[in-house]
Structure 1
Amino acid sequence: MAPILLSAPLQGWLTALDEVPDAVFSARMLGDGVAIDPTGDCLFAPCAGRIVGLQASGHAVTIEANNGAQILIHLGIDTVGLGGRGFTPRVAVGDVVAEGDPLIDFDLDLLVREARAVVTPILLVEGEGISLTLNAALGPIAVGVPLMTLSGGREETSVAEVAGPSAERLLHIALPHGIHARPAGRIAALARSFDATITLEKDGQGASAASPTALLALAIGHGDTVRLVARGRDAMAALDAVVGLIESGMDEPAPAPTQPTAVAPRATPHDVPPGALPGVTAAPGLAIGTVRHHRAVDRAVAVEGQGVAVEGDAFAAAHSALSEEIARRAASASGAARAILDAHSALLADPVLI
């Protein structure tokens, strides 16, 4: 397999895969690579090739290079939960792209606000025997800068039929976001630990459980029913393990709760019982507290006042009484309450105001 040079598909900060806050990526369950914390708003093709995978929510894309290597780029962490918001794909599965072609536009502000992280893993997910060499220093990086070289590999060979017992099972997918990158990585890591081949089938299409890219290409969503077939010495154990992992929920975050339907306020009845206070609900929820009836009081205030001397004495008496009351309360207060009382005391002593 001829070496291939990948260029940086994003503008941002190049970081090691170990720094990605998700074990599926940092532990390299999906494959080896690097990550970029983006500062731009568009993902570009790191090499020439063909689009072989694009998640329905638009947050991840897989490119098969002209030498057969497959590169997965996953925009952000837990971004599948956005349900497509913030992502505008500019390609489709099957499209042929050149290096530097725009692949996905994204709303960086929305991702920063709502995703767990925006750091973006760039992984070699299919390429047995391929070595990866980093060509760029960690730190700031621009689109198009040489990023890493993929070299080595072996010629494609046919896969021999595995001998031994077989087992199969139908499984309803209850994962809230289906089998996206994180579940695919964990399923593949588990499947490789058995002496058996495991295939997931959906709508007549099959994928090896040991291949994250193949699993992603099936686009298995929440509520889908898939057929799992295992063959080999560990067929039954492998099938039980994979089914058990998927049925466990895999610690996947639940989808964001839907907003409650707004209820229009009802008109207040005119026949209010004596002592009752009419009103409408200002916001849904539970209110606990003492209801007090505020009664407005009209105070007679002399417009002209009673002269400077009389008003001055009245102000001085009120000022003195308020100062004493604040000092009394402050003596037994603490924390924020004491700080508020001290601020009021300072205002009373402010020579600019008095």
Structure 2
Amino acid sequence: MSAAPLRLPTPGGGLSAFTPRPAPPPPAAPAAPPRSRVAYAAAHVAADPLAGNAIGAPARLDWDATLAFRHHLWDLGLGVADAMDTAQRGMGLDWPATAELIRRSGAEAAARGAALACGAGTDHLPAGAPATLESVITGYAEQLETVEAAGAVPVLMASRHLAAVARGPEDYAKVYGRLLEQVRGPVILHWLGTAFDPALAGYWGHADPADAVPAVAELIAAHADRVAGIKVSLLDADLEVRLRRRLPAGVRLFTGDDFNYPDLVLGDAEGHSDALLGIFAAIAPAAAAALRALDSGDTDRYRALMAPTVPLARHVFAAPTYHYKTGIAFLAWLNGHQPGFTMVGGLHSARDVVHLAETLRLADAAGVLTDPDTAVRRMRRLLEVAGVAP
């Protein structure tokens, strides 16, 4: 049975007809991880629809839906990057809920031998309170303990507290150097640009990210045995490639560039990026199939599968980029991975209905609507609540 046509709002203030394409064939699951690339999808969290989850309120999660979504990603052969900015770190997900998420995801990953990386940061420290380098190191260490105890690979997330207190590259080298000396095993570093978090301006001690590349490369080289890789989310493909070419052998660059990921993951004669991407959570079936094509050397099929996802990614991550989480949760709801389109901190209201309508159109064009009937039925209800006659 095909989905009934729908009229979707347009940026010009009108309505246009929308009929989704037939559902793509379901992928075989569970699938093995890709062989040629390491790939993590950064997963969002599903809010408990029976809890308040208002702005500033403690986060309350729908644990069944949240953990089921992680199994969905693992079933496709992707690793899961959890408790990161996609999961609303610093935007509604408080540390008690984050710690519980890390523990629960760790247990689920261990039970099936799946790949899991989790963010460790300093967001549990008091906001606005004066920080010192020592308090930042202690804060990181506390969260690192939680991640390592869960059996996950730690991701040392960029710290707003460190950005506020550091006075130059030497302060970053001191903090990260101390942390890397005490970790139990290799970690992933995280370079998050101001498009994702304006509070991180000047990270690594340089106003221009290009000027920070040598310092970051030197830090990694000095601790190469403790660094599995670095996730770079700057939306600057050229800068990412420059850093990638300076990394020591065995240290991976995980692209977090949700605009340019197909070319960065494909790479060139001098190397490639691996993936740790929020958009992979939204396009997981297509991304997993594309990586399998890359495993077999079929770059034409890889490009054919990835190319239609790029307009969707650029729309979901459009400015203000830090509200991309709304699009990720919206697509999870359309595809039946959570019962309601609600987010902790009320963040589901961060994108308007015209933006969400275009998200639906582009998801259909990308072939990532796994159940078009459900997607149309849910979108129709959302439009009715918004006062749009669909």
- Give yes or no for TM over 0.5: no
Report the TM-score when normalising by structure 1.
Answer: 0.26
Q: Looking at CA atoms only, which structure, 1 or 2, has the larger radius of gyration? A: 1
Structure with the larger RCO, 1 or 2 (CA within 8 Å, 6+ apart): 2
Report the TM-score when normalising by structure 2.
Answer: 0.24
Which protein has the bigger helix share? 2
Which protein has the bigger strand share? 1
